[in-house]
Structure 1
């Protein structure tokens, strides 16, 4: 019985997230109604509230799901990095940004970023900050791995460099979300261009 109950809960949660994604993308986060999400997920409104308190909770679940996939893709680069700092960073950037619009569009990212800034005391903001920190730590882990392999200068503070790279990634992604005309490919090109001088500075001379 426990297995059946857990399977049903997981199925309900999947259908809620799928329905919410559809409505957020089609009518926008502000215009999406919980009643319509529940109806599309084929559950009662009361059942919806057993899973999420409000739309913000759904948005947080979607952010978490998106970032977990980004981290999983990034971990592959950390574990098997290309054998140059410039190529390793550009590969990581490509993995991060290629997954940025799988579940979200730019309007949804703007809502998520604004919510995290405007309500810093909320679980949403705290979780969002935690996810950002994990990405920053992963960038540092890549720099550390490259340092251990002899590609990054030994005196380089990998934590500082990782935070520097992440902060620029974060700033540029915010600019991307704000600018509806900027494509993902343009975002990647600009960020790789910005990070190329840094990669040269921290690399061991060949």
Structure 2
């Protein structure tokens, strides 16, 4: 019974989030009411309020759903990265970018970002920051894996590099969602250019490789 209740709860939550995502896209976040979401999801407003207190909570849950899916997809890549730094990082971050508009429009992303900045002390903002940290940690894990294979310089801190790379790719994403005319193709082109520069800095030099081979 416990498993069935959990599954029913997950199914209702998914229906709410899918309805909210569609309505936010069609009518805009400010115009949609909890009652509208409930009607679209074919449940009572009270049921929706049992899961989410505000529209902001619903929006964050949509962001979380998006991030959880890209994190799961990234786990396999991190476990066995292919293509060295450039190839593996392009696949990982490109996956983040490609999935970013599955549930959220650019306007929805702007609203989520604005709420997290305007009210940093709220649970919404803290959770938003936690999601960013999990993405950063996954990038750091990929860097560490590549270092263990000798594909990247081993004398650099993977966690610090993860923060630097995440901050860079996150700023590119912010600029992307700010511009309604910007395309994913352009974003990916910019990502490739940035990663090429990182690659030049992070790959071990021939002298370093020779030294490491000679070390006892």
Q: Which band: TM-score by shorter chain?
A: over 0.9
Matches within 5 A, 1:59-78: 59-78=59-78
Corresponding residue of 1:192 = 192
Q: Which residue of 2 aligns with 1:203?
A: 203
| Deviation by residue 1:83-125 (Cα, 9 ceiling, x = unmatched) | 4212222122211111111101100000011111111011110
1:146 aligns with 2:150: no
Provide the C-alpha distance between the structure 2 equivalents of 1:99 and 1:151, rounded to a whole number of angstroms. Answer: 27
TM-score normalised over the length of structure 1? 0.94
Cα separation, partners in 2 of 1:6 and 1:147, compared to 1, 3 Å: closer
Rounded to whole Å, the distance in 2 between the matches of 1:127 and 1:75 is 21
Looking at structure 2, the residues matched to 41 and 154 of structure 1 have their Cα atoms a distance apart, in angstroms, of: 51
**For residue 45 of structure 1, what is the aligned residue in structure 2?**
45
In the alignment, what sits opposite 1:100?
Answer: 100
Q: Is contact 1:93–1:192 with CA below 8 Å preserved after alignment?
A: no
Task: Show the 5 A alignment for 1:96-135.
Answer: 96-135=96-135
How far did 1:4 drift?
4.7
What is the CA–CA distance in structure 2 between the aligned matches of 1:158 and 1:6, rounded to whole Å?
38
CA distance in structure 2 between the partners assigned to 1:7 and 1:202 by the alignment: 45
Does the 8 Å contact 1:146/1:152 carry over to 2? yes
1:11 maps to 2:25 = no
Which whole-Å CA distance do the structure 2 matches of 1:6 and 1:74 have between them? Answer: 26
| Structure 1 residue 58: Cα displacement | 0.5
- Would you say how many aligned residue pairs link Structure 1 and Structure 2? 206
Unaligned runs of 5+ in 1: none
Name the CA shift for 1:2/1:136 in 2 (closer, same or farther; >3 Å): closer
Please name the residue that 2:28 is paired with.
Answer: 28
Tell me if the contact between 1:83 and 1:151 (Cα under 8 Å) persists in the aligned partners: no
CA shift at 1:160, angstroms?
Answer: 1.6
Q: How far 1:62 moved relative to its partner?
A: 0.7
Give TM-score scaled by structure 2 length: 0.90
Deviation of 1:82 (Å):
1.6
SS in 1 for 2:29: coil
RMSD value, Cα: 1.4
Task: Report how far residue 7 of structure 1 moved.
Answer: 3.8
Displacement, 1:192? 1.6
Write the deviation string for residues 26-50 of structure 1: whole angstroms up to 9, x where unpaired: 0011111111111111111122111
Write out per-residue CA displacement over residues 149-178 of structure 1, whole angstroms, 9 at most, x where no aligned residue.
Answer: 011112122122111100001101000010
